[in-house]
Amino acid sequence: MALLNPNLYGTLTSTTPTFTLPEQMRAIIIDADGGQSINIANGASLALSSSKGTNSFNIQADSTAFVVSRSGATVTLLDNNSGQQIEIPATTSEQTIRFGDGSVKLVISSGAVKLGSQALTETALAISASLNADDSSASFFSNQITKNLDTLGGTQQVPSSFDTGDGAYLLTDAASVPNVVRVTDFGADDQLKLTATAELLSIESSNTDAIVTINDNGIVSQITLAEILTNNDIVYNLESFNALPVGDILLASNSAPATTKDVDNLGTATAPAAFDAGSGAFSLKDTAAAPNFVDVSNFGADDVIQFESASQSLLSISSWETNVTMTINQSGVISQLNLIGVTTASSLVFDVNSFDALPVGNISFV
C-alpha cells in the first residue's frame, strides 16, 4: 500500500539524530546504515525504504489504534479511523516499535515476518502480539521520564526509595517482579503504570500515604506513594485513587496469557535441548531440584522465566556476545538456561536486576 500525497521526501545518514514527524506530515524517507530513531506523532504518516540496522520507531498512538499487515517484507500499520499509515520494511535485524501502550520487536525470523510473536500476513489484523508495557513511547512525546521500579528491588524490612520531585515521571512496575518501593513527591505530572490485572491490585490509605499492592500468586510488589493524601482522603480502589489531584494509576496487561513450558530434565551439558519461544507467550518453569540444559531462542518481552524451589542467591547470570546464561547449582544439581540473542555484545548482564532491565520478559522466584 503506497503512501499517497507525501509532503516530505528525505534521506537519513548514519549520524542523523532522533527527529519527530509532526501531525499531518506524510514522509517518504530512505534509511541509512546504523540504528536510526524516528518519533511519529498522532496523525503523521511514514513510508521508510531501504531499511537498515536496528531502528526504533516511537509511535505516539496506542497499538490498539492500528491494524497490521505485510506485503512481501514491508509491514504496514494502518489506523482506519484517522488514515495514519506507517510502512516499515522488516529485516533480519530487530527493529523496535514503541506505541503509547508498550513496545514490540519487528524482525524476519525463520522465514516469517514477525511483530513480536505475531506472524504477519497480507491480511490486515489487529495487533495481537504482547507488548513490553515498561517500554512505551510516552516519554518521547512529553517531558515525562520513564522509571522502572522493578529495578530498585527493596523488601518490607528495607524498602527502596525513589523521588519524583525533579521531573515528570512515568513509573512502571510489573506483577512478575517482587519489590517494595517508597516514592516521594509524586505529583500531578507523574503517573504509575502497572503491568497487572485489576484483580491482582489493592489500594489503601495509611495516614497521608497511599499504598498500592500487587499480589500475583505470592509475588508481591508494593509501592507507597508518600504524603499525597490529606486526613480526609479515602482511597480504597483505582477509581478513588485516580480522583486525587495527582497523576493516575494506569493498568497494562499482556494481551495473551503465557503458556507454561516445563524445562525440567531437558538436555545435557554436552547435548543441550532447544526451545523456540517465538511462537507465543511462554512462562519457562525451571525447578532447582531437576537438572536441565536448554538453549532458548526468540525469548521476548511476552515471555517470563519462573524458577521454582530456588532462591535468588543460587542463581548465577552472565552474558556473552548476544546471549545470557542462567545457572542454578543446588547441591550439584545443575539447571542451565542459555537465552540466545537477548542482549548486545556491549551490554553487561550479571544479575537479576541487569537482566530484568533488558527489553525482554523478567525473572521470578516461587
The reply to whether 128 and 17 lie within a common domain is: yes
pLDDT of residue 284: 93
Measured distance CA(201)–CA(175) in Å, rounded:
9
**CA end-to-end span of the chain:** 48
Tell me if 78 is assigned to some domain: yes
The reply to whether 268 and 201 lie within a common domain is: no
pLDDT of residue 300: 85
- Choose between 16 and 268: higher pLDDT: 268
The reply to whether 186 and 295 lie within a common domain is: no
pLDDT of residue 134: 82
Least confident of 161-165, 169-173, 346-350: 346-350
Q: Which residue in the block uniquely carries the three cell numbers 556473552? A: 320
3-state secondary structure 341-366: CCCCCCCCCCCHHHHHCCCCCCEEEC
Residue 227, domain extent: 142-251
Specify the DSSP element, H or E, that contains 36: none
pLDDT of residue 86: 96
Tell me if 227 is assigned to some domain: yes
The C-alpha cell of 214 is what? 500487587
Question: CA angle, 171 as apex, 170 and 175 as ends, to 5°?
Answer: 135
The reply to whether 279 and 186 lie within a common domain is: no
Tell me if 308 is assigned to some domain: yes
- What share of the chain has pLDDT > 70, as a percent? 96
43: pLDDT confidence band, cut at 50, 70 and 90? confident
Number of domains in the chain: 3
pLDDT of residue 254: 44
Tell me if 1 is assigned to some domain: no
Measured distance CA(176)–CA(197) in Å, rounded:
12
Among the candidates 132, 165, 180, a domain finishes at 132
Tell me if 205 is assigned to some domain: yes
Listed residue (330, 292, 293) closest to 311, CA to CA: 330
Among the candidates 194, 225, 251, a domain finishes at 251
pLDDT of residue 1: 55
pLDDT of residue 255: 43
CA dihedral 76, 81, 84, 87 (to 10 degrees): 0
In this predicted model, what pLDDT tens digit does every residue of 51-71 receive, in sequence order?
777 899 999 999 999 999 998
In this predicted model, what pLDDT tens digit does every residue of 256-300 receive, in sequence order?
446 889 999 999 988 999 999 987 778 899 999 999 999 999 998
The reply to whether 226 and 294 lie within a common domain is: no
The reply to whether 215 and 302 lie within a common domain is: no
Question: Residues 6 or more apart from 239 whose CB is under 8 A from it?
Answer: none
The mean pLDDT of the chain is 87
Tell me if 292 is assigned to some domain: yes
Least confident of 26-30, 83-87, 166-170, 260-264: 166-170
The C-alpha cell of 200 is what? 491482582
